[in-house]
């Protein structure tokens, strides 16, 4: 059972989480701009974005894992995120019908974070005993990343695990393998933070705007796409 005692607030983690969310939203904006033909496709299809996009995602996943270390109820947190993820799948399915393009999210980052939070809730006692160092989690991530390619004749129900059959598509896709290891890497980071292994400046750092973004991260993630799409539709309506 999670400890109900209030945890200290590490504002630098909140700020970093807020920044990583803003970077992910910026990437989604770029995707929408290419979808509507407002910017050239090479803006996304280039090596720089190919490296930065998963890096932003990895930072957000790791910081979410770190946040779970301070959560009063990781089970309740996970269920809340999964409800939001279900809303994303329903909304993007509707968008696919409206746009005539497949943009449905079947197992995106919210689906992953919800399930990862529940896994952590169950596995926390074992993880506390094992205490694997951070580099091991990174090695496990790279190993799982290389071992889970597309596989023929695999049921679609296994896609959340990282097993994809040819033709599978999700507009946002964060399978449990390999990303669960980045989540646990974030848990390790939180332990390092609590043990005062970071420079003193880290513990004094404040950026209230980014902290506010982190505080409302779930709602911002849920609402940013409808707002962006609505603004695009309004623009096209005005511009004719």
Walking along the chain (240 residues) 10 residues at a time, the average pLDDT comes out as: 59 94 89 82 83 88 93 91 93 78 86 96 93 94 79 76 80 91 96 93 94 93 85 77
Residue burial 52-84, b: 16+ Cβ < 10 Å; e: rest: ebeebbbbbbbbbbbbbbbbeebeebbeebbeb
**129 inside domain:** yes
With respect to residue 190, please indicate whether it lies within any of the assigned structural domains. Answer: no
- Residue that the structure tokens 């393009």 belong to: 101
| Nearest-angstrom CA–CA distance, 164 and 158 | 7
Q: What b-and-e string marks burial along 202-213, b requiring 16 or more CB atoms within 10 Å of the CB?
A: eeebebeebbeb
Residue 71 covered by a domain: yes
Q: Name, in order, each residue with C-beta under 8 angstroms of 175's C-beta and a sequence gap of 6 or more.
A: 107, 112, 148, 159, 160, 161, 162, 163, 164
pTM, two decimal places: 0.88
131-155 exposure pattern, b = at least 16 Cβ within 10 A, e = fewer:
eeebeebbebbeebbeebeeeeeee
Query: Is residue 200 included in any domain, yes or no?
Result: no
**Residue 104 pLDDT:** 86
Q: What is the pLDDT of residue 14?
A: 94
Residue 115 falls inside a structural domain:
yes
| 158: containing domain | 11-179+206-239
Element holding 79 (H helix, E strand) = helix 74-99
* Separation of alpha carbons 182 and 64, rounded Å: 10
Residue 237 structure tokens: 């309506």
Would residue 22 count as lying in a domain?
A: yes
196: DSSP letter: T
Domain tally for the chain?
Answer: 1
The predicted pLDDT at position 1 comes to 46
pLDDT of residue 152: 60
- Tell whether 4 is covered by a domain: no
């Amino acid at each position: 059972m999670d400890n109900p005692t209030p945890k200290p607030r590490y504002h630098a983690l909140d700020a970093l989480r807020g920044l990583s969310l803003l970077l992910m939203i910026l990437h989604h904006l770029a995707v929408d701009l290419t979808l509507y033909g407002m910017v050239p496709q090479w803006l996304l299809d280039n090596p720089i974005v190919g490296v930065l996009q998963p890096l932003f995602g990895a930072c957000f996943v790791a910081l979410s894992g770190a946040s779970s270390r301070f959560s009063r109820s990781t089970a309740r947190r996970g269920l809340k995120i999964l409800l939001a993820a279900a809303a994303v799948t329903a909304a993007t399915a509707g968008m696919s019908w409206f746009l005539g393009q497949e943009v449905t999210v079947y197992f995106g980052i919210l689906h992953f974070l919800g399930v990862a939070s529940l896994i952590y809730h169950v596995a926390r006692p074992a993880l506390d005993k094992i205490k694997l160092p951070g580099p091991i989690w990174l090695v496990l991530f790279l190993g799982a990343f290389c071992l889970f390619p597309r596989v023929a004749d695999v049921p679609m129900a296994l896609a959340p695990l990282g097993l994809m059959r040819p033709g599978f598509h999700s507009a946002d896709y964060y399978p449990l393998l390999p990303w669960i290891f980045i989540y646990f890497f974030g848990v390790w980071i939180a332990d390092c933070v609590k043990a005062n292994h970071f420079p003193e400046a880290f513990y004094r750092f404040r950026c209230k705007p980014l902290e506010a973004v982190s505080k409302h991260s779930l709602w911002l993630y849920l609402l940013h796409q409808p707002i962006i799409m609505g603004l695009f539709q309004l623009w096209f309506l005005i511009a004719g």
